[in-house]
Amino acid sequence: MTDAIKIDVWSDIACPWCYIGKRNLESGLSAASEDEDAPTVEVTFHSFELSPDTPVDFEGDELDFLATHKGMERAQVRQMLDNVTGVARGAGLEYRFDLLKHTNTVKAHELLHYAKAHGRQAELAERLMSAYFTEGRHLGREDELVSLAEEAGLDVDDAREALRSERYLDAVRADQAQAQAYGINGVPFFVIDGKYGVSGAQPADAFAQIVRQVWAEHREAAPAEV
């Protein structure tokens, strides 16, 4: 039996390119899944905070945040947001930067580790990113996070306790330390089988091509069946 390809994804739920990269990865894997010898793939999400110093309740919208915290000209920010909105639309995502509530994401990352421990990480990652970029939900607030956890099939009371106890904060920090060890300084970043690194929101075709290539390597390395 051929071992599954392991794809480790470093991302932040507040990173617009991360959601696009996630969707493109899914589209690429879907295309490869139609092959006669379809790859088996396991995807795991890891924590990366783009702006760990962000307050939970940031006063202003995304344009304000980038202009004041990143020192960018407002016209440049507007153009950048328009561009990423167009790219997102091409991936089937309708970004609403006019609704977006910029916030600190460490609690969302803790919740993703909780979801991973309960077999619902993929579902929660999708729910958090959709809520943040398309629905204007405030992901820095506990009540909002546990509500989304429930929508992803998790227990509300247990999820709330996990956040309050910071049970998974060490796991978040371990992910960040691993990213630093790998030399990751921007996301999304995809590590395939612990040896191939793919940076940025690559097109779906690129993801399909690389998993096919790596799957062929797996097949060559697999012991012959008796």
pLDDT at 224 over 80: no
Domain 5-221 annotated CATH 3.50.50.60: no
DSSP 168: T
pLDDT confidence of residue 207: 98
Share of the chain above pLDDT 90, in %: 89
| Residue 44 φ then ψ, to 5° | -125, 135
Chain center to CA of 108: 11
Mean pLDDT (the chain, rounded): 95
pLDDT confidence of residue 196: 96
222 or 158, higher pLDDT:
158
Residue ranges per domain, the chain?
A: 5-221
Residues 145-202: tens digit of each pLDDT: 999 999 999 999 999 999 999 999 999 999 999 999 999 999 999 999 999 999 999 9
pLDDT at 226 over 50: no
Residues 53-74: tens digit of each pLDDT: 999 999 888 889 888 877 889 9
